Amino acid sequence: MNVLKWIFNFYLNSSVHVAFAALALAWVTLIELNLKFDKELLYFVFFATITGYNFVKFFGVAKFHHRSLAGWLKSIQVFSLFAFFAMSYYLFQLKLNTLICITVLGIITFFYAIPIMIPKHYLFDDHKNLRQIGGLKVYLIALIWTVTAVVLPVVNQDYEINTDVLIIGLQRLCYVLVLMLPFEIRDLNYDSLKLATIPQKIGVKKTKVIGVSLLAIFFMLDFFKDELVADTVLSTLLITSVTLLFLLFSNKNQSKYYSAFCVESLPIVWLLILLLFA
């Protein structure tokens, strides 16, 4: 039993689960736009998510405690190295315009984790990374996920950036913002006030109101697309309903797996719903 628990925790802590979620959102885009299955891009998204997330999560820990790293962290570092090599392999299978977009995402991810020089009036301290700038974290993550899940699949297949692509991008931005809210609520007991997260600024109840509003926008945007497909609308309605429940039931004292596993599973559930209808 302890072995299974260790494997499950490693699955979560090593960012494999969140990588499946990112892959799922990119796959959803391919299905919604009726694009061909892009194995190389999806594999890249998967391994790049593992590499990027583990870099952001564990950079500070490894930097200051590299001589006394716990066994689990060493395992994640080795695993992340293999993920980096796999990411690099699939990176060179992609088109030039896609590589340009990925370079921009890579720079943002780097400075999200690494302290940089920023004018002091934007910060509480002299040297901070992008994630520590008050109020920026959740929007930056949502933007990165949107570009990864919508822009990369479209650009890699030379698909026209039309109205439907822009609407899907806006939908994805709204949806990822909603997925972030249970995490923000969970971390109220731990986050520094300097982060100025949404629940810190307006409280849990108003945060959920914003989440409900974003989900309503997310669903209604389907009806502004040039090509309205019944299966897509139904899948959007279903995932909106399920996500709404997880948002409403989120609280500061939620289970350790509520957000880290259940909420992050929602993009995978969305993909499965679409594949079921396909």
pLDDT value, residue 75: 86
Give the confidence band of 206 by pLDDT, cuts at 50, 70, 90.
very high
pLDDT value, residue 120: 47
- Mean pLDDT, the chain, whole residue set: 87
CA 189 to chain centre: 22
- Give the C-alpha separation, 45 to 90, whole Å: 9
- More confident site: 63 or 71: 71
Phi, psi of 136 (to 5 degrees): -90, -30
Mean per-residue pLDDT for 244-262?
Answer: 94
Tens digits of residue pLDDT in 67-120: 545 667 888 889 999 999 999 999 999 999 999 999 998 888 777 666 544 444
- Give the C-alpha separation, 102 to 79, whole Å: 22
pLDDT at 121 over 70: no
- More confident site: 136 or 212: 212
pLDDT at 194 over 80: no
Residue 80's identity, in one-letter code, is S
pLDDT value, residue 118: 45
pLDDT value, residue 265: 97
Residue 152's identity, in one-letter code, is L
pLDDT at 234 over 70: yes
**Whole-structure pTM value:** 0.89
User: Which residues are paired to 116 by β-bridges?
Assistant: 128
Per-range mean pLDDT, top range of 106-110, 190-194, 256-260: 256-260
Give the confidence band of 132 by pLDDT, cuts at 50, 70, 90.
low
- Give the C-alpha separation, 234 to 231, whole Å: 5
